[in-house]
Amino acid sequence: MAGKSKQKVCLAYSGGLDTSCILVWLKEQGYDVVCFMADVGQEEDFEAAKKKALKIGAQKVEIKDLKKAFVEEFCWPAIQCNAQYEGEYLLGTSLARPVIARAQMEFAAQEGCFAVSHGCTGKGNDQVRFELAFYALDPKIKVIAPWRDPVFYNRFKGRNDLLDYASQTGIPVTSTKSKPWSMDENLAHCSYEAGILEDPNTTPPEDMWKLTVDPEKAPEKPEYFTLEFTKGIPTGLEYSEGGKEKSVTGDVDIFTTTNNIARRNGVGRIDIVENRFIGIKSRGCYESPGLTCLRSAHQNLEGLCLDREVKTWRDRSITYDFSKCLYNGVWFSPECEVLRNCIPPTQKDVNGRVRCKVYKGTFSVVGRTSPSKLYDMSESSMDEIGDFDPSETGGFITVSAIRLKKYGQMKKEAGEDL
């Protein structure tokens, strides 16, 4: 793939071996390169990565703090509709991709780039998520995806080839020993895949997990905290630390503090085999400590204050499709826009406080309160009549049984057992 001399490319840069080699390789193709780095809450030395990129030839490096936008625009709607892919995955990687892509495209436009580039592999979901976002945000943008270019991937067949290239071209490499898996981190989670994890029967080594303590080594006493929700969005957190009662507000602070509580108690690990958008099954291990607590607390509160039919409709019509949009990378699509606009009306009554407990890898709710009038303790009680007349239930059962009687009679006449 030969490039036109001195056209400018915006590279999504991490500071790692792959994107450092791609940076130098793009320059070899005749491009000027500017690098974009997104701070979505990962624990990373951004300044060191910036210095490295400039040293090996980047014209400019932009580091953009996207944590607030990530939480407010992406994580909160996911919690409001209890987003989840295939019953387990809380979509931590998927949630971060559109906010990163949007910011990268803004920087690319600012710098006058004709193309954007990334280091995603040709078999994964992320190439799809990034590029569909790129094309939606700027239909005329060009995308350079080296790991789908035969010239590139035939030249660099593995990590050793990249290390040799780094040595030949003066790319600083801090370590030549690669962990036998790939990893992606943001404020919502950390994911692990590939390498030794490709065998679905291989137990992840304990030193793989970066965010959470081993549940078996977590504190012997449970930890309690209270989350407050307003219209389905977390708006407050109360907890104890060092014998002192503390409280936090503010989106990023709530998320970060909930993360810290969950991390030290080993909450949020899963190990699954999922179905990638491109049709390949993939084994992934995920840590979503704070997100696990926030989503579970929200879901529990909905039981108290969300109407049954609204919840059923939302679960069937929004949650599944919204989760699918996130996973498949079509955040910037007409269907996802409609789904996002449908979420807030379902949450106007989801207000209240949830008392939570974390202990050795588990999360549970120990109490919840809400100003909602849908739950009536007197009406629900087995110890008093209240405003509910039990005699009226007979008619309800009689009407509900009409079709079941007909069905039972039909099966009997056909000589079939129920």
The tokens 């030249």 sit on which residue? 155
**What is the sign, positive or negative, of the torsion defined by CA atoms of 397, 403, 406, 408?**
negative
- How many other β-carbons are positioned within 10 Å of the β-carbon of residue 155? 13
Backbone angles phi, psi at 79, to 5 degrees: -70, -40
Do 11 and 26 meet the contact criterion of CB atoms below 8 Å apart?
Answer: yes
Quick check: helix, strand or coil at residue 125?
Answer: coil
The tokens 């020993």 sit on which residue? 177
The residues facing 68 across adjacent strands are none
Among 188, 189, 190, which residue's Cα sits nearest to residue 74?
188
The reply to whether 32 belongs to the active site is no
Query: From start to end of 196-251, where are the E strands?
Result: 223-230, 233-241, 244-248
The reply to whether 45 belongs to the active site is no
The reply to whether 97 belongs to the active site is yes
The residues facing 184 across adjacent strands are 191
The reply to whether 387 belongs to the active site is no
Query: From start to end of 90-155, where are the E strands?
Result: 115-117, 142-144
Transcribe 84-121 into DSSP letters.
Answer: -BTTTB--HHHHHHHHHHHHHHHHHHHTT-SEEE----
Q: Calculate the alpha carbon distances from 293 to 42, 87, 266 in Å.
A: 19, 16, 12
**Residue of 20, 97, 295, 368 marked active site:** 97
Q: Calculate the alpha carbon distances from 283 to 77, 193, 201, 209, 270 in Å.
A: 26, 6, 10, 15, 11
Among 166, 164, 158, which residue's Cα sits nearest to residue 56?
166
Nearest-angstrom CA–CA distance, 321 and 325: 6
**Residue of 14, 20, 102, 126 marked active site:** 126
Nearest-angstrom CA–CA distance, 299 and 315: 11
**Residue of 18, 32, 251, 349 marked active site:** 18
Nearest-angstrom CA–CA distance, 131 and 45: 26
Among 311, 358, 318, which residue's Cα sits nearest to residue 335?
318
Nearest-angstrom CA–CA distance, 71 and 324: 19
For residue 37, what is the enclosing H or E element? strand 32-39
**Residue of 149, 178, 182, 321 marked active site:** 182
Q: Calculate the alpha carbon distances from 302 to 63, 374, 387 in Å.
A: 38, 11, 24
The tokens 């370590």 sit on which residue? 175
**Active-site annotation, residues:** 18, 97, 126, 182
